[in-house]
């Protein structure tokens, strides 16, 4: 229960940070995607579903389900499965999966190819990787332990 | 066991919320997206730029052709796109107010009683009671525009910093020149903003320019949908 509550607080704070940052600066680091990638280490499938749905409910911006929203709902599960099927070390895997998630998300959102290939976008991906690693570190500091199944192989 | 039950209940509740009733969570979003709205200085700047656009068209064409709107509907902004690169707003009118895809969305000029305003975007999709507006800051947007008294043609490319591209090298354009719409799917002459900086594009054969807008995107709380 402590884990669920801790992750709930992290999620709310992250969404608040992302929306406020976007309002103030007109651009935001990918806090939410980075956090969703980070928590795939600490949760089981049911908890993953809870946090992904909660995130989607809080950031959804239109009545119809859009491709962006569908991507936000599915990417964490894809990363969740990938983590358990791949031999990557936690830190390297987190960085790689954060970059991958940002690329998949914006490609699904229909962002033009010239933007996806721009220097800003690449920097955004690298920043997301750093943020995701930061979240993993913070979650460990507050006492969460990675799921044992991560090390099953 | 009880913990699992609570988890399952929450997952079902959130699934219904996301897929069937997404608007129930929007009041929570508003807590993080609160803005002060347009200031009097913003409104004055919008009025000023609208008038300058009319003057520019007058000098270019020797006649005034104000944008022609057959309808105007005021709408409130519900929520905004929460990520980067896309800039979208959800407004509180839709098919119930006869809004159609492609309608023009303006920040109205409130001082004169005339139908003027500054372009902020166009309607991308329409639902029964809401419409999604694509803003000119959206990286997918491309609009044909004209610049200043000479009506120099250019292409507006959306993004966090919208840019004017394809400006001929010989064209006399500079900081402060007014930019207005000259695109088939927008009313001719709707003001967009003014030029901030002009520079030579890569290769040196054309010019490009950045724009200055008389409002902050985050301060938009109400808009007018026109056709």
pLDDT digits (tens, 9 = 90+) for B196-208: 999 998 888 899 9
Task: Estimate the share of chain A in helix, then strand, then coil, as percent rounded to the nearest 5.
Answer: 75, 0, 25
Q: B7–A47: do the CB atoms touch at under 8 Å?
A: yes
Closest CA in chain B for residue A124:
B84
Closest CA in chain A for residue B12:
A50
Local confidence band at B149 (pLDDT 50, 70, 90 cut-offs) = confident
A115 interface with B at CB cutoff 8 Å: yes
How far away is chain A from the Cα of B37, in angstroms, using its nearest Cα?
12
Predicted pLDDT of residue B29: 78
pLDDT digits (tens, 9 = 90+) for B59-109: 665 544 556 667 788 999 988 899 999 999 999 999 999 999 999 999 877
Which region, left, alpha or beta, applies to residue B102 given φ > 0 means left and ψ of -120 to 50 means alpha?
Answer: left
Closest CA in chain B for residue A1:
B3
pLDDT digits (tens, 9 = 90+) for B155-166: 999 988 899 999
Backbone torsions φ then ψ of B14, nearest 5 degrees: -70, -35
pTM, 2 dp: 0.85
B35-43 long-range CB contacts below 8 Å, 24 or more apart?
B35/A23, B35/B218, B35/B219, B35/B220, B35/B221, B36/B219, B37/B219, B37/B221, B38/B107, B38/B215, B38/B219, B38/B220, B38/B221, B39/B219, B42/B214, B42/B215, B42/B216, B42/B219, B43/B110, B43/B111
Q: A112–B15: do the CB atoms touch at under 8 Å?
A: no
Q: A26–B218: do the CB atoms touch at under 8 Å?
A: yes
pLDDT digits (tens, 9 = 90+) for A57-108: 999 888 888 999 999 999 999 999 998 888 778 899 999 999 999 999 999 9
Contact B126, B134 (CB under 8 A): no
Q: B7–A57: do the CB atoms touch at under 8 Å?
A: no
Work out the average pLDDT over A6-21. 93
Q: Is A86 helix (H, G, I), strand (E, B) or coil?
A: coil
Residues of B within an 8 Å Cβ radius of A: 3-4, 7-8, 10-11, 14-15, 17-19, 22-23, 25, 28-29, 32-33, 35, 79-86, 88, 90, 125, 127, 130, 132, 137, 139-140, 159-160, 217-218
Predicted pLDDT of residue B33: 72
Q: B81–A23: do the CB atoms touch at under 8 Å?
A: no
Helix (H), strand (E), coil (C) string for B40-76: HHHHHHHHHHHHHHHHHHHHHHCCCCCCCCCCEEEEE
Chain B contact set for A63 (CB, 8 A): 22-23, 127, 130
Share of chain B above pLDDT 70, in %: 81
Chain A contact set for B17 (CB, 8 A): 53, 57
pLDDT digits (tens, 9 = 90+) for B120-134: 999 999 999 999 999
* Tokens 């090390």 belong to residue: A151
Contact A6, A142 (CB under 8 A): yes
How far away is chain A from the Cα of B50, in angstroms, using its nearest Cα?
24
Helix H or strand E segment including B122: strand B117-126
Chain B contact set for A46 (CB, 8 A): 4, 7-8, 11
Helix H or strand E segment including B163: strand B163-168
């Amino acid at each position: 229960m402590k884990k669920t509550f801790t992750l709930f607080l992290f999620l709310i704070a992250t969404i608040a940070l992302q929306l406020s940052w976007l309002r103030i600066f007109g651009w935001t680091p990918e806090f939410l995607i980075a956090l969703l990638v980070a928590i795939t280490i600490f949760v089981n499938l049911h908890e993953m579903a809870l946090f992904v749905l909660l995130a989607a409910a809080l950031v959804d911006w239109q009545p119809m389900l859009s491709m962006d929203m569908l991507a936000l709902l599915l990417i964490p599960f894809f990363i969740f499965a990938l983590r358990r099927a791949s031999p990557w070390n936690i830190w390297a895997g987190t960085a790689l999966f954060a970059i991958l998630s940002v690329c998949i998300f914006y490609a699904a959102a229909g962002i033009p190819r010239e933007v996806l290939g721009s220097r800003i976008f690449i920097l955004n991906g690298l920043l997301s990787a750093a943020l995701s690693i930061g979240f993993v570190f913070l979650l460990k500091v507050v006492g969460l332990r990675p799921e044992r199944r991560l090390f099953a192989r | 066991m009880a913990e699992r039950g609570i988890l399952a209940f929450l997952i079902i509740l959130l699934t219904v919320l996301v897929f069937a009733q997404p608007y129930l969570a929007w009041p929570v979003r508003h807590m993080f997206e609160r803005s002060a709205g347009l200031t009097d200085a913003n409104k004055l700047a919008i009025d000023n730029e609208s008038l300058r656009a009319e003057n520019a068209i007058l000098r270019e064409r020797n006649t005034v052709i104000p944008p022609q709107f057959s309808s105007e509907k005021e709408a409130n902004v519900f929520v905004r796109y929460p990520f980067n690169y896309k800039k979208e707003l959800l407004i509180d009118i839709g098919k119930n107010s006869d809004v159609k895809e492609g309608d023009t969305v303006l920040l109205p000029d409130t001082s004169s009683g005339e139908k003027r305003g500054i372009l902020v975007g166009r309607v991308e999709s329409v639902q029964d009671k809401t419409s999604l507006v694509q803003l000119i800051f959206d990286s997918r947007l491309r609009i044909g525009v004209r610049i200043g008294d000479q009506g120099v043609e250019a292409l507006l490319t959306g993004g966090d910093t919208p840019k004017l591209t394809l400006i001929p090298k010989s064209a006399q354009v500079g900081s402060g020149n007014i930019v207005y719409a000259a695109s088939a799917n927008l009313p001719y002459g709707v003001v967009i903003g003014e030029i901030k900086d002009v520079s030579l594009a890569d290769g040196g054969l054309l010019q490009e320019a950045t724009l200055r807008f008389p409002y902050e995107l985050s301060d938009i709380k109400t808009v007018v949908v026109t056709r």
